[in-house]
Amino acid sequence: MTRTGSWLALAAFIVAVDQITKYLVAGSFAPGESVPLTPFFNMVLVHNPGAAFSFLSDQAGWQRGFFIAIALAASVWIVYLLAKHPRERLFALALTLVLAGAVGNVIDRILVGAVVDFLDFHAFGYHWPAFNVADSAITCGAVLLAWDALRPQKKNADPTTEAQRR
Protein backbone atom coordinates (compact mmCIF):
# COMPACT_ATOMS: atom_id res chain seq x y z
CA MET A 1 0.00 0.00 0.00
CA THR A 2 1.29 3.46 -0.83
CA ARG A 3 1.80 6.05 1.87
CA THR A 4 -1.20 7.97 0.56
CA GLY A 5 -3.20 4.75 0.66
CA SER A 6 -2.19 4.25 4.29
CA TRP A 7 -3.42 7.72 5.22
CA LEU A 8 -6.70 7.10 3.39
CA ALA A 9 -7.07 3.73 5.14
CA LEU A 10 -6.62 5.45 8.51
CA ALA A 11 -9.27 8.01 7.52
CA ALA A 12 -11.64 5.19 6.52
CA PHE A 13 -11.07 3.49 9.89
CA ILE A 14 -11.88 6.72 11.77
CA VAL A 15 -15.01 7.22 9.64
CA ALA A 16 -16.07 3.65 10.48
CA VAL A 17 -15.57 4.24 14.22
CA ASP A 18 -17.52 7.49 13.94
CA GLN A 19 -20.43 5.89 12.10
CA ILE A 20 -20.56 2.82 14.36
CA THR A 21 -20.68 4.94 17.51
CA LYS A 22 -23.42 7.13 16.03
CA TYR A 23 -25.39 4.06 14.97
CA LEU A 24 -25.14 2.55 18.46
CA VAL A 25 -26.22 5.76 20.17
CA ALA A 26 -29.06 6.42 17.71
CA GLY A 27 -30.30 2.88 18.28
CA SER A 28 -30.19 3.22 22.07
CA PHE A 29 -31.40 6.77 22.71
CA ALA A 30 -34.42 8.83 21.80
CA PRO A 31 -33.66 12.27 20.34
CA GLY A 32 -32.92 14.63 23.21
CA GLU A 33 -32.49 11.81 25.73
CA SER A 34 -29.59 12.27 28.11
CA VAL A 35 -27.97 9.71 30.41
CA PRO A 36 -25.45 10.93 33.00
CA LEU A 37 -22.35 8.72 33.13
CA THR A 38 -20.14 10.83 35.38
CA PRO A 39 -20.61 14.12 37.24
CA PHE A 40 -19.23 15.92 34.16
CA PHE A 41 -20.23 13.72 31.20
CA ASN A 42 -23.53 12.62 29.67
CA MET A 43 -24.42 10.54 26.65
CA VAL A 44 -27.12 12.28 24.62
CA LEU A 45 -28.70 12.06 21.19
CA VAL A 46 -28.79 15.38 19.39
CA HIS A 47 -29.29 16.08 15.68
CA ASN A 48 -27.45 19.25 14.67
CA PRO A 49 -28.45 20.64 11.26
CA GLY A 50 -25.88 23.42 11.65
CA ALA A 51 -22.13 23.53 11.88
CA ALA A 52 -19.90 23.76 14.96
CA PHE A 53 -21.66 25.20 18.00
CA SER A 54 -24.96 24.85 16.07
CA PHE A 55 -23.95 27.68 13.71
CA LEU A 56 -26.82 28.22 11.22
CA SER A 57 -28.88 25.43 12.79
CA ASP A 58 -31.93 27.70 12.96
CA GLN A 59 -32.03 28.21 9.18
CA ALA A 60 -34.72 26.82 6.86
CA GLY A 61 -32.67 23.89 5.56
CA TRP A 62 -30.50 25.45 2.84
CA GLN A 63 -27.48 24.96 5.10
CA ARG A 64 -27.56 21.16 4.63
CA GLY A 65 -26.52 21.33 0.96
CA PHE A 66 -24.14 24.18 1.71
CA PHE A 67 -22.29 22.22 4.40
CA ILE A 68 -22.25 19.06 2.26
CA ALA A 69 -20.72 21.00 -0.66
CA ILE A 70 -18.09 22.63 1.54
CA ALA A 71 -17.13 19.31 3.16
CA LEU A 72 -16.92 17.50 -0.18
CA ALA A 73 -14.79 20.26 -1.73
CA ALA A 74 -12.52 20.27 1.33
CA SER A 75 -12.25 16.47 1.16
CA VAL A 76 -11.14 16.55 -2.48
CA TRP A 77 -8.55 19.21 -1.64
CA ILE A 78 -7.31 17.21 1.37
CA VAL A 79 -6.93 14.02 -0.71
CA TYR A 80 -4.91 16.05 -3.24
CA LEU A 81 -2.67 17.38 -0.44
CA LEU A 82 -2.26 13.89 1.02
CA ALA A 83 -1.16 12.60 -2.38
CA LYS A 84 1.30 15.46 -2.70
CA HIS A 85 2.75 15.27 0.85
CA PRO A 86 2.37 11.68 2.09
CA ARG A 87 5.81 11.59 3.74
CA GLU A 88 5.23 14.70 5.88
CA ARG A 89 3.90 12.66 8.76
CA LEU A 90 2.50 15.32 11.07
CA PHE A 91 0.93 17.26 8.21
CA ALA A 92 -0.51 14.10 6.65
CA LEU A 93 -1.88 12.88 10.01
CA ALA A 94 -3.55 16.25 10.57
CA LEU A 95 -5.08 16.18 7.09
CA THR A 96 -6.22 12.59 7.61
CA LEU A 97 -8.05 13.51 10.82
CA VAL A 98 -9.79 16.49 9.20
CA LEU A 99 -10.72 14.36 6.19
CA ALA A 100 -12.18 11.61 8.36
CA GLY A 101 -14.22 14.08 10.37
CA ALA A 102 -15.53 15.86 7.30
CA VAL A 103 -16.56 12.59 5.64
CA GLY A 104 -18.16 11.25 8.84
CA ASN A 105 -20.30 14.34 9.23
CA VAL A 106 -21.18 14.46 5.50
CA ILE A 107 -22.50 10.91 5.76
CA ASP A 108 -24.80 12.08 8.58
CA ARG A 109 -25.99 15.10 6.63
CA ILE A 110 -26.81 12.93 3.61
CA LEU A 111 -28.43 10.02 5.47
CA VAL A 112 -30.00 11.73 8.51
CA GLY A 113 -30.28 15.35 7.38
CA ALA A 114 -28.20 16.56 10.32
CA VAL A 115 -25.04 15.64 12.20
CA VAL A 116 -25.55 13.11 14.98
CA ASP A 117 -23.91 14.30 18.22
CA PHE A 118 -23.78 12.33 21.46
CA LEU A 119 -20.90 13.37 23.71
CA ASP A 120 -21.95 15.97 26.27
CA PHE A 121 -19.39 17.40 28.70
CA HIS A 122 -20.40 19.88 31.38
CA ALA A 123 -19.09 21.58 34.50
CA PHE A 124 -20.46 24.13 36.97
CA GLY A 125 -23.74 24.38 35.11
CA TYR A 126 -22.14 25.00 31.73
CA HIS A 127 -22.44 22.51 28.87
CA TRP A 128 -20.01 22.25 26.01
CA PRO A 129 -22.06 21.73 22.84
CA ALA A 130 -22.59 18.02 22.16
CA PHE A 131 -20.16 16.54 19.65
CA ASN A 132 -19.05 13.23 18.13
CA VAL A 133 -15.99 11.27 17.00
CA ALA A 134 -15.87 13.12 13.65
CA ASP A 135 -15.88 16.49 15.43
CA SER A 136 -13.07 15.28 17.68
CA ALA A 137 -11.05 14.19 14.65
CA ILE A 138 -11.54 17.59 12.98
CA THR A 139 -10.50 19.41 16.14
CA CYS A 140 -7.41 17.27 16.70
CA GLY A 141 -6.49 17.63 13.03
CA ALA A 142 -6.85 21.41 13.17
CA VAL A 143 -4.63 21.57 16.27
CA LEU A 144 -2.01 19.40 14.56
CA LEU A 145 -2.16 21.58 11.43
CA ALA A 146 -1.52 24.66 13.57
CA TRP A 147 1.30 22.90 15.41
CA ASP A 148 2.84 21.79 12.13
CA ALA A 149 2.63 25.33 10.72
CA LEU A 150 4.19 26.91 13.82
CA ARG A 151 7.02 24.49 14.51
CA PRO A 152 10.45 25.32 13.13
CA GLN A 153 10.97 23.78 9.71
CA LYS A 154 14.20 22.20 8.55
CA LYS A 155 15.89 24.57 6.18
CA ASN A 156 16.39 23.32 2.64
CA ALA A 157 19.93 22.56 1.67
CA ASP A 158 21.90 25.51 0.31
CA PRO A 159 21.56 25.38 -3.51
CA THR A 160 25.27 26.10 -4.02
CA THR A 161 26.24 23.28 -1.67
CA GLU A 162 23.78 21.00 -3.43
CA ALA A 163 25.32 21.89 -6.83
CA GLN A 164 28.84 21.17 -5.52
CA ARG A 165 27.78 17.66 -4.42
CA ARG A 166 26.81 16.73 -7.98
Catalytically annotated residues: 117, 135
Please report, as a single letter, which amino acid is at residue 144.
L
Range list of H helices, the chain: 3-28, 62-84, 89-111, 133-150, 159-165
The C-alpha angle with vertex 24 and arms to 115 and 40, in degrees rounded to 5, equals: 75
10: Cα separation from own chain's centroid: 13
Question: Which residues does 144 contact at the CB level (< 8 Å), separation at least 6?
Answer: 90, 93, 94, 97
- Give the residue from 53, 83, 50 showing the smallest Cα distance to 68: 50
